[in-house]
Amino acid sequence: METSLPIPVKDWILLNQAIEAASSLDNPAVATINFDESPDHWVVRSSDGSVISVLHSNPEPFTHPELSGQVTLMAGPIAFIAHLVANNAVDDEACLVMDGNYVRIETVSGSSIVSDLAPPEPLPGSEPVSYGRLNGGGEVKARDLAAALRSAFTKVGVQEERVLFPVVKIGVEKNALALTVDWSPLGAPQMTYRVEAESVASDHRAGIFCGTIGDLLSTASNDATVMVEMLDDFVRFTLFEGEALWTVSVPSYSDGARRWWSKVERAFSEAGHHAGFASEGEFTTCGPGGDADAVTVTLHDTKPETIRLTLRVGDNFEETPEFYQQLSRLNSGKSGIKFWSEEGTLVACEDVPCYRFDDAPAAAEHLQREMVDLGVVLAAGSTLF
């Protein structure tokens, strides 16, 4: 049995804007409405981790005795309806018609789209994550925020081919929203943009690294405002044009060298390394076979930002003048590897720029190989040569 759901053209336009903002060439977004859990809004998930909730303009949630489960619409049908709206080929609404096997979008003019029901998105439900506590916020003009974000995300001239651009740190000050971006690891200055806001100052800061919110804000009217809310793990933006139209929840990211962490972890995993996690922001690897000497991997806010690989070579050395002379000779004889002593423990280190994260597993294996022979010679209390 068919179920028909009239949806105003305003909603189709908003949904298409959300789809366009969340899509990339390699990863087009989809829109889902869950009639059991979230019948008052569509959900669009972006490849950058943002979650967009597009509120429909009906006074009541979409309800019908036969509506259950969730329906997923691909980008194409939504874009087609938005095209018809732009060319005045749709009156006030376009109907979403469903049965158990297909979904159809119909217009009064006779244009329509028929599609098999798309499978649900991999992330179940309309709220796939816990957003955490509210830690402050403020209301700003949408156009001002869009300009500040666009400026903050503007790339500086850097030479490295593989650069992960810095996050934009958002903070709520008294009567202002501050956006800070630190380009100093790439040889450019740190910059802060402030936007007038109705706000209460908060110590909470969050880094965002995405373009979805900027793309959506570019579609807002001159009179629109945005409520910015600082949550534990997300920054939430809600657009108001007389009423709430959409909400974008953007995940928070670490700033500095820590923002490379997921890429470094993935590089070691794909290289077959067996990793053991010592603490947040640090892990050890014993090589692809799991039987090599343990190398500790850490990230450092140097210029350029650095992946540091360290290996304990030997213990219980007496730190005499002769020892330091031998240590100096060791440093001059091993290209790319540095040595130092930590209270009698000899440590070897190799640094890799963060933008060369793919090279870090091979560098760790190189460090392990170079230290094998040296480790055999260096029994506890022995001399370096």
29-81 residue pLDDT tens: 888 887 777 767 888 888 777 888 888 776 666 666 666 777 888 888 888 88
The answer to whether residues 274 and 182 belong to one domain is no
The answer to whether residues 148 and 85 belong to one domain is no
The pLDDT value recorded for residue 238 is 93
Q: How distant, in Å, are the alpha carbons of 11, 203, 334, 342 from that of 280?
A: 43, 22, 31, 22
The answer to whether 247 touches 53, Cβ cutoff 8 Å, is: yes
Beta partners for residue 300, in sequence order: 306
The answer to whether 90 touches 9, Cβ cutoff 8 Å, is: yes
pLDDT band at 125 (very low <50, low <70, confident <90, very high): very low
Return contacts of 377-382, CB within 8 angstroms, 24+ apart: 378/313, 378/314, 378/346, 379/314, 380/314, 380/315, 380/316, 381/316, 381/317, 381/318, 382/314
Per-residue model confidence as pLDDT tens digits over 21-36: 888 767 778 888 877 7
Does residue 128 lie in a domain region?
no
Q: For the chain, what percent of residues have pLDDT higher than 70? A: 85
Q: List the domain range (segments joined by +) for residue 102.
A: 3-116
The answer to whether 197 touches 175, Cβ cutoff 8 Å, is: yes
Coil, strand or helix: which one is 231? Answer: strand
Residue whose tokens read 């903002």: 21
Does residue 123 lie in a domain region?
no
The answer to whether residues 89 and 198 belong to one domain is no
Domain count, the chain: 3
The answer to whether residues 108 and 203 belong to one domain is no
The residue from 211, 242, 273 where one domain ends is 242
End-to-end CA gap in the chain: 86
- How high is the mean pLDDT of the chain? 81
Q: How distant, in Å, are the alpha carbons of 76, 94, 220, 250 from that of 214?
A: 22, 28, 10, 11
pLDDT higher than 60, residue 109:
yes
The answer to whether residues 156 and 110 belong to one domain is no
pLDDT band at 196 (very low <50, low <70, confident <90, very high): very high
Does residue 234 lie in a domain region?
yes
The residue from 116, 144, 161 where one domain ends is 116
Distance in angstroms (rounded) separating the CA atoms of residues 328 and 191: 41
The answer to whether residues 170 and 234 belong to one domain is yes
109-148 core/surface letters (b: 16 or more CB in 10 A; e: else): eeebbeeebeeebeeeebeeeebeeeebbbbbbbbbbbbb
Tell me, yes or no, if the pTM score tops 0.75: no
* Whole-angstrom Cα Rg for the chain: 27
Distance in angstroms (rounded) separating the CA atoms of residues 340 and 347: 5
**Residue 100 CA from chain centroid, whole number:** 36
Per-residue model confidence as pLDDT tens digits over 327-377: 888 888 777 899 988 888 889 999 999 888 999 999 999 999 888 766 554
Residue 360 belongs to a domain with what CATH number? 3.30.1460.10
Does residue 189 lie in a domain region?
yes
Distance in angstroms (rounded) separating the CA atoms of residues 198 and 176: 7
The answer to whether residues 89 and 168 belong to one domain is no
Does residue 28 lie in a domain region?
yes
The answer to whether 204 touches 135, Cβ cutoff 8 Å, is: yes
Six-digit token string for 319: 């730190």
Name which of 4, 126, 22 is nearest 75 in CA terms. Answer: 22
The answer to whether residues 238 and 263 belong to one domain is no
The answer to whether residues 234 and 266 belong to one domain is no
The answer to whether residues 234 and 305 belong to one domain is no
Does residue 359 lie in a domain region?
yes
Distance in angstroms (rounded) separating the CA atoms of residues 35 and 324: 72
pLDDT band at 380 (very low <50, low <70, confident <90, very high): very low
pLDDT band at 379 (very low <50, low <70, confident <90, very high): very low
Residue 178 belongs to a domain with what CATH number? 3.10.150.10
The residue from 84, 116, 148 where one domain ends is 116
Does residue 59 lie in a domain region?
yes
The answer to whether residues 141 and 232 belong to one domain is yes
pLDDT band at 224 (very low <50, low <70, confident <90, very high): very high
Does residue 248 lie in a domain region?
no
Upper half-sphere CA count for residue 117 (Cβ side, 13 Å): 12
The answer to whether 216 touches 239, Cβ cutoff 8 Å, is: yes
pLDDT band at 126 (very low <50, low <70, confident <90, very high): very low
Distance in angstroms (rounded) separating the CA atoms of residues 322 and 328: 10
The answer to whether residues 194 and 298 belong to one domain is no
pLDDT band at 161 (very low <50, low <70, confident <90, very high): low
The answer to whether 283 touches 239, Cβ cutoff 8 Å, is: no
